[in-house]
Amino acid sequence: MAQTPIPEEYLDLFEKRTFAHVATLTEDDDPHVTPVWIDYDADANRVLVNTERGRRKERNVARDPSVGISMTDPDDPYRHLSIIGEVTAVTTDGAREHADELAGRYTGTPEYPSEIRTERVLLKIRPTEVF
C-alpha cells in the first residue's frame, strides 16, 4: 500500500495540544471512535497513538489494522487534517516514555497523570491518504 507523508504545513498540529479522533473497526465491523493525544514521527512517516494494552482500539487494530484519524487545529477550528492509514506496528518499546512526553505537551506535567493498569503501547500508523 502506498504511503503519504503529512504535508509540512500541517506538522504544527503535532506540536501543540491537538486532540485527534481515531476510528477503528470492531469485530462486528462497526466503527469505534475515540479521542486521543496524537504525535508524528516524521523520519519514519508514522502517526503515533499511545494507549494502554487491552483498550478497545488496541484490540481492534490487532484484528484489522485500518484506521481513520481526524484532527482539528485547536487555534482554528476550520483548519483540519484527516488521515486514512494502517497500523504497521504495536509496540511497548519506548511507549511509557512517550506517554510522559505527551503528558508534558497536553497537561504540562512531567509524567503521565493516570494510573497505568497494564502497560503502555504505541500504535504506529502509516498514512496512506491525507486530506
Distance CA 73, CA 38 (A): 12
Q: What is the CATH architecture of 8-130?
A: Roll (2.30)
The helix (H) or strand (E) run that includes residue 97 is: helix 95-107
Q: Is it the case that residue 124 has pLDDT exceeding 80?
A: yes
pLDDT at 39: 98
pLDDT at 115: 76
114 vs 95, higher pLDDT: 95
- Segment 98-109 shows an average pLDDT of 94
Distance CA 58, CA 99 (A): 15
Q: Write the pLDDT tens digit of every residue in 64-102.
A: 999 999 999 999 999 999 999 999 999 999 999 999 999
pLDDT at 28: 96
Helix (H, G, I), strand (E, B) or coil at 94: coil
